[in-house]
Amino acid sequence: MSVLTTSVKVRTNHIKYNGIEYFRGNASLVKLGSHGPKRTPVFDANFLDPQGQISPSHFDVIKATTLDIDFKQSSATDITADLKPMQVKFAGGQVSETRKLASSGDLKLIELAIEPGDLMRYINGNDKVREQFAHADNDLRVAIVVWVVAKASLADRVDTSVKGSVDATQSGVTVGLKGGQNGSSETSLDIEPGTTFAYGLGDLEWDKAAKNKRTRVTGVRLDKWGLS
């Protein structure tokens, strides 16, 4: 029987959690609900090329999970390697702090995920979106999971138990925080554009193979980094 792990291994081009590897390429441009073709360059990391977004506000079920970074198997160089300035942003912190906090082990990851069933219902119920996706090439993917990095002191306060603690809007996602700490009056954490650290891609499954005959999405398969 497999054991659920509570920490994440970080590499320069992917992260690994509970046996599943998630993408890091182009992460700063990816948001929850971003969609576009998955690019597979020969000499670089595979990545999502976002060409649009389904707003998270369309989905009823979004979960927030806080996880430790496995610093014994993840170096500070891995965590901050090859990142453009926007990519080293983290929720609730400053760019200049990232490497120092990575070296000291004072960072955690927050996972946000769309339920595949919600995504299927939205696409199948929206004629324009369904037609657009049905006629897209088979490399179309949707970001159904995003990971953002945050200070451990903030990540530990993410409220994962109270209904409605994750608020999805047109512009992004706000995560509720539990009680103040050290005099802090903060009650929420904004997940802003540019803070995505890694992401998981959904590969849509259709009722028909031919693009001009597809009428509905029948499933959403998680496209794992290691199998790309």
Supply the mean pLDDT for the chain: 80
* Domain annotation covers residue 105: yes
**E strands, the chain, in order:** 7-10, 14-17, 20-23, 34-39, 47-48, 52-53, 62-69, 107-114, 140-151, 166-168, 173-176, 188-191, 196-206, 217-223
CA quadruple 111, 175, 123, 140: dihedral sign: negative
Give CA–CA dist 178/162, Å, rounded. 10
Could you list the residue range(s) of the whole structural domain that residue 44 is in? 7-222
Q: How many domains does the chain have?
A: 1
Cα 178-109-72 angle, rounded to 5 deg:
125
- Per-residue pLDDT of 83-122, as tens digits, reads 443 344 556 555 455 555 655 667 788 888 888 999 999 9
* Domain annotation covers residue 180: yes
* Domain annotation covers residue 228: no
Q: How much of the chain, in percent, has pLDDT values that exceed 70?
A: 75
* Domain annotation covers residue 2: no
Residue 57 CA neighbour count, 13 Å, CB half: 5
Q: 153: how many CB neighbours lie within 10 A of its CB?
A: 13
- Per-residue pLDDT of 146-199, as tens digits, reads 988 887 878 888 877 766 778 887 767 888 888 755 555 668 888 877 788 899
Is residue 89 within 8 A of residue 150, CB to CB? The reply is no
* Domain annotation covers residue 210: yes
pTM more than 0.95: no
* Domain annotation covers residue 101: yes
